[in-house]
Structure 1
Amino acid sequence: MELRTVNVIRYVTPLREGGSLPAIAEADDEFLYVLKFRGAGQGVKALIAELIGGELARALGLKVPELVFANLDEAFGRTEPDEEIQDLLKASVGLNLALHYLSGAITYDPAVTVIDARLASQIVWLDCLLTNVDRTPRNTNMLIWHKELWLIDHGAALYFHHSWGNWKEQAVRPFVQVKDHVLLPWATELESVDLEFKAILNETLIRDIAALIPDEWLADDIEAAAERREVYVQFLLLRIAASDIFIKEAKNARETRF
């Protein structure tokens, strides 16, 4: 398992609806990407969450735009007239993360597009696993492209890594924010999805995905990076093993709210 690496050759336009100022950029493979910057708000932790969340979703058969590593040259920060963007570019020199730009895609609206119970349950289950707080009616982080549902933006997931001290406790906690999930009303097949997904997400797969994280995003030296990477692996394994906890929370939230 590996991601392609591209070089950014043109900064096209900022996506100002994102708090961390992602941008549409062109790479040397002549494709457009939504570029997520290491120098933005939550830094490389958001990129790590994006990488793990996106590749887990892909492994489970959900649709996610291709993720690539994107090299940003220091020259980009010199000619940008917007000072805020200039500072962001200068702080993001080196390896960043980008998603293939889905030209013509529209934001998913539950009032317009009906999602079947199985797909809704799959996405809710994944977001409970990842503790992804950012899939709400206000900001669904899903797109309709060629009449199919695509998942984007997992940068707010895995919030345990903003406070490492009690990661084992956080791994087995209910995901109470599931009550705000945009697809929760239709997630009626969580138990069967749980059996299906737990059969797919074995330790080998989890380790393969964690191995994609660049050492430089984890720590300043290789040994510390290896330790930090192992925490991600163990967090996910513990959470998968305790999935009945977050399934129960999701079911209770459905019964309470709907």
Structure 2
Amino acid sequence: MKYLSLVISILLIVACKHDSKNSNEKFEAIEKVDTVFVHDTTLVRDSVATLTSVFNQLSYKYNYKISFTEYYENSEAYKHFWTVEIFDKKMNLVDTIILDSYLYYFPQDMQFVTTSYITDFNTDMKIMDEYYGDVVIADVNFDNLEDLAIAYDTGASNGPFYTFYIQNNGHFERDGFLTDSVYKFPGKIDRRHKQITTYWHATASCSSENLFHYNSKTKSWKRGERILHCFD
């Protein structure tokens, strides 16, 4: 009970700061979108903590309701998962994604970091350790449909690993190759050559570029060359 009381107090303080500090930034960033539908909710109940936000600035077609939930036992978090609900602009539910997460922390500063390469929302943020946000919207398979990537785990120095969901017939399906072989969100998306590039810290003094080519006819990926850059 002491732990829950402390968590509730912290959440209330952070929520107040978040509303006063960041509300203008959110509404200024959605000038390209017709309707304004953004809110944040934090719930702590029976050893469960959930942070929920609704974003309409990530897409011209969809609104995204994003939730991160943690279950606690004896003051320790033992289960974490994402819930992403995709709505059309009239708030009709289109699809729901539930993803287990191995991230042992609530999103930064009790708010989500989201990026959209569809609307250019938050694409000017400084990239550190290949972290592009908790949820990223982009067309990663060059079919002119938006896809999404959700951070679910993190490495020691290479930033988060992402699970990729590709849009198919109006629904979002997990892509096995991108999730299990690419891992990282691509730092470069080359639409002309249908190629993506990820960046890794190979050693303390070396980094690598990893290229992946997409065949739109066979709808399949092929691993390309790996370029190593070392510094004195």
Bucket of the pairwise TM-score, normalised by the shorter protein: under 0.3
More helix by percentage: 1
Q: TM-score of the superposition, structure 1-length normalised?
A: 0.26
- Determine which structure has greater relative contact order: mean sequence separation of CA pairs < 8 Å that are 6+ residues apart, divided by chain length: 1
Instruction: Give the TM-score normalised by the residue count of structure 2.
Output: 0.28
Structure with greater proportional strand content: 2
